Amino acid sequence: MPRRYSITVPLIEVGLPCNITQPESVWLEPSTKKELPTPDYDLTGNQGLYSCNMLNDVSKSSMTSIGEAHAITTPASDEPGTSKWLIVAAASAVLLVATGYIKTFGVFQQYYQAKYFPNEPTDKLIVIGSVASSLYLILGAFTGAFADYFGYQVSPTLGSVLMVCAMFAASVSTQAWHFLLSQGFMFSLGSAFVYMPATSISSQYFEGRMHGFANGIIVSGEALGGTFLPYTIRVLLSKCG
Protein backbone atom coordinates (compact mmCIF):
# COMPACT_ATOMS: atom_id res chain seq x y z
CA MET A 1 0.00 0.00 0.00
CA PRO A 2 1.46 3.42 -0.93
CA ARG A 3 2.47 5.64 1.91
CA ARG A 4 0.70 8.95 2.59
CA TYR A 5 2.80 12.09 2.94
CA SER A 6 1.71 14.89 5.23
CA ILE A 7 4.27 17.44 3.98
CA THR A 8 5.41 18.36 0.45
CA VAL A 9 8.79 19.08 -1.07
CA PRO A 10 8.24 22.85 -1.68
CA LEU A 11 7.65 23.30 2.03
CA ILE A 12 11.10 21.90 2.78
CA GLU A 13 12.83 23.74 -0.08
CA VAL A 14 11.66 27.21 0.97
CA GLY A 15 12.68 26.50 4.55
CA LEU A 16 9.30 26.82 6.30
CA PRO A 17 9.29 25.52 9.90
CA CYS A 18 7.44 22.39 10.77
CA ASN A 19 4.33 23.16 12.84
CA ILE A 20 3.19 19.58 13.31
CA THR A 21 2.77 18.68 16.96
CA GLN A 22 0.89 15.37 16.87
CA PRO A 23 2.45 13.11 15.92
CA GLU A 24 5.99 14.48 16.15
CA SER A 25 7.15 12.78 12.97
CA VAL A 26 6.34 13.26 9.31
CA TRP A 27 6.80 11.37 6.07
CA LEU A 28 8.82 12.86 3.22
CA GLU A 29 8.78 12.08 -0.48
CA PRO A 30 11.80 10.11 -1.62
CA SER A 31 12.41 12.57 -4.50
CA THR A 32 13.09 15.55 -2.26
CA LYS A 33 16.16 17.56 -3.29
CA LYS A 34 17.01 18.65 0.24
CA GLU A 35 19.72 16.58 1.86
CA LEU A 36 18.41 15.47 5.24
CA PRO A 37 20.05 13.60 8.12
CA THR A 38 19.85 9.84 8.37
CA PRO A 39 16.22 8.98 9.22
CA ASP A 40 15.23 7.61 12.59
CA TYR A 41 13.26 4.45 13.13
CA ASP A 42 9.82 4.64 14.66
CA LEU A 43 8.58 2.26 17.32
CA THR A 44 7.41 -0.27 14.73
CA GLY A 45 10.84 -0.41 13.05
CA ASN A 46 9.77 1.29 9.81
CA GLN A 47 12.46 3.43 8.23
CA GLY A 48 11.63 6.78 6.66
CA LEU A 49 10.27 8.86 9.54
CA TYR A 50 11.92 12.23 10.12
CA SER A 51 11.47 14.00 13.39
CA CYS A 52 10.12 17.54 13.49
CA ASN A 53 13.39 18.73 15.05
CA MET A 54 15.28 17.55 11.96
CA LEU A 55 12.90 19.45 9.69
CA ASN A 56 13.25 22.59 11.77
CA ASP A 57 17.06 22.35 11.55
CA VAL A 58 16.86 22.09 7.76
CA SER A 59 14.38 24.97 7.71
CA LYS A 60 16.67 27.23 9.73
CA SER A 61 19.62 26.34 7.49
CA SER A 62 17.62 27.24 4.39
CA MET A 63 16.47 30.56 5.81
CA THR A 64 20.05 31.38 6.83
CA SER A 65 21.27 30.76 3.27
CA ILE A 66 18.50 32.96 1.88
CA GLY A 67 19.36 35.73 4.35
CA GLU A 68 23.06 35.60 3.47
CA ALA A 69 22.30 35.82 -0.24
CA HIS A 70 20.01 38.80 0.35
CA ALA A 71 22.69 40.55 2.39
CA ILE A 72 25.18 40.10 -0.44
CA THR A 73 22.93 41.33 -3.25
CA THR A 74 21.28 44.21 -1.39
CA PRO A 75 23.55 47.28 -0.91
CA ALA A 76 23.21 48.92 2.45
CA SER A 77 25.06 51.57 4.35
CA ASP A 78 25.80 51.51 8.06
CA GLU A 79 26.38 55.27 8.14
CA PRO A 80 23.88 57.16 10.31
CA GLY A 81 21.62 59.73 8.68
CA THR A 82 23.63 62.74 9.84
CA SER A 83 26.89 61.35 8.47
CA LYS A 84 25.31 60.74 5.07
CA TRP A 85 24.22 64.35 4.72
CA LEU A 86 27.59 65.61 5.94
CA ILE A 87 29.19 63.63 3.13
CA VAL A 88 26.76 65.23 0.68
CA ALA A 89 27.62 68.70 2.02
CA ALA A 90 31.36 67.98 1.76
CA ALA A 91 31.01 66.78 -1.84
CA SER A 92 29.04 69.91 -2.71
CA ALA A 93 31.73 72.11 -1.14
CA VAL A 94 34.41 70.28 -3.13
CA LEU A 95 32.63 71.05 -6.40
CA LEU A 96 32.06 74.63 -5.29
CA VAL A 97 35.81 75.21 -5.06
CA ALA A 98 37.07 72.89 -7.80
CA THR A 99 34.75 73.96 -10.61
CA GLY A 100 33.82 77.40 -9.30
CA TYR A 101 37.46 78.48 -9.33
CA ILE A 102 37.80 77.35 -12.95
CA LYS A 103 34.68 79.27 -13.98
CA THR A 104 36.09 82.49 -12.57
CA PHE A 105 39.05 82.58 -14.96
CA GLY A 106 37.51 85.55 -16.76
CA VAL A 107 38.23 87.62 -13.66
CA PHE A 108 41.80 86.34 -13.53
CA GLN A 109 42.28 86.98 -17.23
CA GLN A 110 41.27 90.62 -16.87
CA TYR A 111 43.62 91.01 -13.91
CA TYR A 112 46.55 89.32 -15.67
CA GLN A 113 46.01 91.36 -18.81
CA ALA A 114 46.13 94.63 -16.89
CA LYS A 115 49.00 93.84 -14.53
CA TYR A 116 51.33 91.37 -16.25
CA PHE A 117 50.63 91.34 -19.98
CA PRO A 118 49.34 94.75 -21.09
CA ASN A 119 51.00 94.45 -24.50
CA GLU A 120 50.35 90.74 -25.08
CA PRO A 121 47.52 89.46 -27.28
CA THR A 122 44.51 88.06 -25.50
CA ASP A 123 44.86 84.68 -27.20
CA LYS A 124 47.74 83.72 -24.93
CA LEU A 125 45.57 84.02 -21.86
CA ILE A 126 42.40 82.52 -23.30
CA VAL A 127 44.09 79.15 -23.75
CA ILE A 128 44.68 78.95 -19.97
CA GLY A 129 40.97 79.11 -19.23
CA SER A 130 40.15 76.74 -22.10
CA VAL A 131 42.53 74.08 -20.81
CA ALA A 132 41.34 74.44 -17.22
CA SER A 133 37.63 74.23 -18.08
CA SER A 134 37.91 71.17 -20.32
CA LEU A 135 40.76 69.03 -18.99
CA TYR A 136 39.04 67.91 -15.76
CA LEU A 137 36.14 66.49 -17.78
CA ILE A 138 38.36 64.91 -20.43
CA LEU A 139 40.30 63.07 -17.73
CA GLY A 140 37.12 61.87 -16.04
CA ALA A 141 37.39 58.30 -17.38
CA PHE A 142 40.91 57.91 -15.99
CA THR A 143 40.34 59.61 -12.64
CA GLY A 144 37.09 57.68 -12.15
CA ALA A 145 38.94 54.39 -12.62
CA PHE A 146 41.67 55.66 -10.31
CA ALA A 147 39.09 56.39 -7.59
CA ASP A 148 37.49 52.95 -7.98
CA TYR A 149 40.86 51.21 -7.71
CA PHE A 150 42.52 53.22 -4.92
CA GLY A 151 39.42 54.33 -3.05
CA TYR A 152 37.28 57.44 -2.60
CA GLN A 153 39.61 58.86 0.03
CA VAL A 154 42.89 58.70 -1.86
CA SER A 155 41.61 60.34 -5.04
CA PRO A 156 40.05 63.49 -3.43
CA THR A 157 43.06 63.88 -1.17
CA LEU A 158 45.44 63.81 -4.11
CA GLY A 159 43.24 66.22 -6.06
CA SER A 160 43.04 68.65 -3.15
CA VAL A 161 46.83 68.70 -2.79
CA LEU A 162 47.24 69.38 -6.51
CA MET A 163 44.73 72.24 -6.46
CA VAL A 164 46.34 73.91 -3.45
CA CYS A 165 49.81 73.59 -4.98
CA ALA A 166 48.50 74.98 -8.26
CA MET A 167 47.13 78.09 -6.56
CA PHE A 168 50.40 78.65 -4.73
CA ALA A 169 52.32 78.22 -7.99
CA ALA A 170 50.01 80.67 -9.79
CA SER A 171 50.57 83.26 -7.06
CA VAL A 172 54.29 83.43 -7.89
CA SER A 173 53.98 83.09 -11.67
CA THR A 174 55.11 85.91 -13.95
CA GLN A 175 54.94 84.41 -17.45
CA ALA A 176 51.98 83.22 -19.48
CA TRP A 177 53.28 79.69 -19.66
CA HIS A 178 53.68 79.69 -15.88
CA PHE A 179 49.96 80.33 -15.51
CA LEU A 180 49.21 77.73 -18.18
CA LEU A 181 51.06 75.03 -16.26
CA SER A 182 49.81 76.00 -12.79
CA GLN A 183 46.31 77.39 -13.21
CA GLY A 184 45.61 75.53 -16.44
CA PHE A 185 47.02 72.01 -16.28
CA MET A 186 47.82 71.46 -12.62
CA PHE A 187 44.63 72.85 -11.13
CA SER A 188 42.45 71.13 -13.71
CA LEU A 189 44.21 67.82 -13.02
CA GLY A 190 43.47 68.21 -9.33
CA SER A 191 39.85 69.03 -10.14
CA ALA A 192 39.60 65.84 -12.19
CA PHE A 193 40.66 63.74 -9.19
CA VAL A 194 37.98 65.25 -6.95
CA TYR A 195 35.19 65.74 -9.49
CA MET A 196 34.30 62.12 -10.29
CA PRO A 197 34.25 60.86 -6.66
CA ALA A 198 32.21 63.88 -5.56
CA THR A 199 29.55 63.42 -8.23
CA SER A 200 29.21 59.65 -7.69
CA ILE A 201 29.53 59.31 -3.92
CA SER A 202 25.79 59.70 -3.30
CA SER A 203 25.03 56.33 -4.93
CA GLN A 204 26.83 54.59 -2.05
CA TYR A 205 24.54 56.03 0.62
CA PHE A 206 21.18 56.72 -1.03
CA GLU A 207 18.74 54.86 -3.25
CA GLY A 208 15.70 55.81 -5.28
CA ARG A 209 14.39 59.34 -5.00
CA MET A 210 16.72 60.25 -2.16
CA HIS A 211 19.67 59.44 -4.40
CA GLY A 212 18.51 61.96 -6.98
CA PHE A 213 17.84 64.56 -4.28
CA ALA A 214 21.28 64.07 -2.70
CA ASN A 215 23.04 64.18 -6.05
CA GLY A 216 21.18 67.39 -6.91
CA ILE A 217 22.51 69.00 -3.74
CA ILE A 218 26.05 67.93 -4.65
CA VAL A 219 26.05 69.29 -8.20
CA SER A 220 24.39 72.53 -7.04
CA GLY A 221 27.72 73.36 -5.39
CA GLU A 222 29.19 73.71 -8.87
CA ALA A 223 26.60 76.33 -9.77
CA LEU A 224 27.01 78.17 -6.48
CA GLY A 225 30.75 78.40 -7.01
CA GLY A 226 30.29 79.91 -10.44
CA THR A 227 27.78 82.40 -9.01
CA PHE A 228 29.54 84.13 -6.14
CA LEU A 229 33.22 83.19 -6.50
CA PRO A 230 33.81 85.66 -9.37
CA TYR A 231 32.69 88.56 -7.19
CA THR A 232 34.67 87.28 -4.20
CA ILE A 233 37.86 86.85 -6.23
CA ARG A 234 37.47 90.25 -7.87
CA VAL A 235 37.33 91.90 -4.44
CA LEU A 236 40.31 89.90 -3.18
CA LEU A 237 42.42 90.72 -6.22
CA SER A 238 41.68 94.43 -5.92
CA LYS A 239 42.57 94.53 -2.22
CA CYS A 240 45.26 91.88 -1.82
CA GLY A 241 46.60 91.47 -5.37
State the CATH number of the domain containing residue 109. Answer: 1.20.1250.20
Domain boundaries, position 29 = 9-73
User: Is the per-residue pLDDT at 147 higher than 60?
Assistant: yes
Q: Which residues pair with 25 in a beta bridge?
A: 51
As a whole number, mean pLDDT of residues 112-125 equals: 84
Domain-embedded: residue 4:
no
Pick the more confident residue, 185 or 15: 185
26, 46, 73 - which closes a domain: 73
What domain count does the chain have?
Answer: 2
Specify whether the CB–CB gap between 62 and 14 falls below 8 A: yes
73, 93, 128 - which closes a domain: 73
- pLDDT attached to residue 154: 92
Specify whether the CB–CB gap between 202 and 215 falls below 8 A: yes
Question: Does 130 share its domain with 202?
Answer: yes
Question: Does 123 share its domain with 48?
Answer: no
As a whole number, mean pLDDT of residues 177-205 equals: 91
Per-residue pLDDT band at 81 (split at 50, 70, 90)? low
* pTM across the whole model: 0.64
Question: Does 205 share its domain with 164?
Answer: yes
Question: Does 90 share its domain with 153?
Answer: yes
- pLDDT attached to residue 204: 86
What value does the mean pLDDT of the chain take?
75
Specify whether the CB–CB gap between 146 and 155 falls below 8 A: yes
Question: Does 49 share its domain with 150?
Answer: no
42, 73, 104 - which closes a domain: 73
